[in-house]
Structure 1
Amino acid sequence: MKLSFNFIKSVYIISIYILGYSANAQLVNIESKRMHTDSVRFVLSSDLLFNYTDNNGEYILQIGSNLTTQFKSKNLKSIYFFIGNVNLIRSKEEDFQNSYFLHARFNQKLTEVVRFEAFVQNQNNQKLTISERNLLGVGLRLKLFSKNGSVAYFGNSYIYEIESVEDSDQKFYNHRNSSYISLNQNFKKYNLDITGTLYFQPLYDNISNHRILSQFKAQMPLTKRISFSALYNYAVINFNSELEDNRTSNVSFGFTLNL
């Protein structure tokens, strides 16, 4: 059976929404990407996708790469954490997706309950209203409780962000607050981890300009190196301006290689 090139492109477009949410969203849940590794000092998780299809001179190129790595100090009180991903889906006529995301974070344990965090982030996606977002943030992360496989955290940070709208060459320089609450439950009997997180990020001088993200993540190791995960995301971005507000929801499934 011969498949048309337009059908193949449609399949790729669908795959963007199923597999590529983390690269498309402007508000990214860092909680779901943290590595809870106890006394393990170095961890790296990575995946790479490359695909090229050519039908009579019409082509689709797909490149996807994700990297998450973490390093702990010798006394295990300092954590250096990095996330990076690149996603490109291109045909002769247009790019269906062209984005990257970089995030670096430092976490310092002050007490058994309180941790200090500082982070920088750069993300670019030409398919979104805000095509580029850069931010610098500092804040505190509190462990609310830890008992019987349940761990809850609350975090609050100050963020200075620069947002760019490529279509109109506009730039916005914002002072934003970021608060989140996260609950993780480990079911040892089923070797299953479930994490739920809720973010709220308003501007200090205009609370109506805010971002909300709720996410549920389930992860189950299949082998020592490979895990299966499922994600549900719901995100709202209210600009309270002439810019169009964004609302997105997404369900995705995937496999992760842990080294």
Structure 2
Amino acid sequence: MKMTKTYKFNHFKVLFITAMCLLGNSLNAQLVNIESKRMQSDSIRFALKSDLLFDYTDNNGDYLFQLGSNVTTQLKSKDLKKIFFFIGNYKLIRSNDKDFQNNWFFHLRYNQKLSSLFRIEAFIQNQNNTKLTIVSRNLVGAGIRLKLVSSELTRVYVGNAYMYEVEKLAESGVHFYNHRNSCYLSATHSFNKTSLLLTETIYFQPLYNDIGNHRILLQMKAELPLTEIISLSALYNFSYNSFPAVNDIDRSSNLSLGFTFTI
């Protein structure tokens, strides 16, 4: 009977960890879609989205520990032309001193509106994930952002930026110092009757001296408000990361469902 209980717990633990890894996959990708995190609030100076998850289970000495936190906040100047934008998240899943997931991500961005069409941006980012080919990625960058379409229901943006990037390889610990370009196209559309909000974005980030070393991210996100604070959300990600220097490719695709809390 004891062996049966232990087997059932181990089987449940594997299924649970697999499910959590799939749900958290959008946070694990080395390329993170900043567009889906932006807060499209023209007249609101401060906005915050956050959640915290803690779970601990112990059955006959076999334990499963999970910790997850996310925060997104935006602050605008009085004239609404300058925006400070911060994203931070951390996720840990551990069982019997083995990490199934251990990653964090921090992104700080400054955006200044120069005209109805033209904006400039600067950003810094720190990213770590012990389970990927590139375990650490740090970058600083700056570029432009253009609003191509601006209507009551639809907005379309295109952007281009230069990034200086430092990456650390998992197995050897070798560091790569890269000059990378980042370009993207993003569209947001809301529906009057249902208040459904759709955001679609595609990123392409090649090295300047080697286009074969590149990252691609395609993302679609839907948010349906249930109350003024809570929204039902769905997120689809497809990412492709090519690393010719180590003859390796990271490819992932996932669909996530959940809730978004906004204040």
Per the normalisation by structure 2, the TM-score is 0.95
Aligned to 1:233: 237
User: How far is the alpha carbon of 1:245 from its aligned partner?
Assistant: 0.7
Aligned to 1:121: 125
User: How far is the alpha carbon of 1:148 from its aligned partner?
Assistant: 4.9
Report the AA paired with residue 223 of structure 2: Q
Alignment of 1:112 with 2:138, yes or no, is no
Q: Quick one: distance in 1 between partners of 2:215 and 2:20? A: 22
Q: Quick one: distance in 1 between partners of 2:187 and 2:71? A: 24
Aligned to 1:69: 73
Identity of aligned residues (%): 57
Q: Which ranges in structure 1 are unaligned for 5 or more consecutive residues?
A: none
Q: Quick one: distance in 2 between partners of 1:63 and 1:93? A: 14
Q: Which ranges in structure 2 are unaligned for 5 or more consecutive residues?
A: none
CA RMSD of aligned residues (A): 1.3
Secondary structure of 1:133's aligned partner: strand
Alignment of 1:92 with 2:96, yes or no, is yes
Report the AA paired with residue 209 of structure 2: D
User: How far is the alpha carbon of 1:15 from its aligned partner?
Assistant: 2.1
Alignment of 1:205 with 2:209, yes or no, is yes
Q: Deviations over 1:165-211 (max 9, x none)?
A: 13201000000000000011111111101111000000000001100
User: How far is the alpha carbon of 1:239 from its aligned partner?
Assistant: 1.2
2:221 aligned to 208, 217, 220, which one? Answer: 217
Aligned to 1:142: 146
Aligned 8 A contact 1:60 1:91 in 2: yes
Q: Quick one: distance in 1 between partners of 2:115 and 2:68? A: 39
Per the normalisation by structure 1, the TM-score is 0.97
Q: Quick one: distance in 1 between partners of 2:202 and 2:224? A: 22
Alignment of 1:46 with 2:63, yes or no, is no
- Number of residue pairs aligned between Structure 1 and Structure 2: 259
User: How far is the alpha carbon of 1:16 from its aligned partner?
Assistant: 2.6
Q: Quick one: distance in 1 between partners of 2:170 and 2:253? A: 24
Alignment of 1:193 with 2:197, yes or no, is yes
Aligned to 1:178: 182
User: How far is the alpha carbon of 1:51 from its aligned partner?
Assistant: 0.3
Which aligned segments of 4 or more residues in structure 1 are displaced greater than 4 angstroms?
A: none
User: How far is the alpha carbon of 1:217 from its aligned partner?
Assistant: 0.5
1:252 aligned to 237, 253, 256, which one? Answer: 256
Q: Quick one: distance in 1 between partners of 2:257 and 2:113? A: 33
Aligned 8 A contact 2:26 2:237 in 1: no
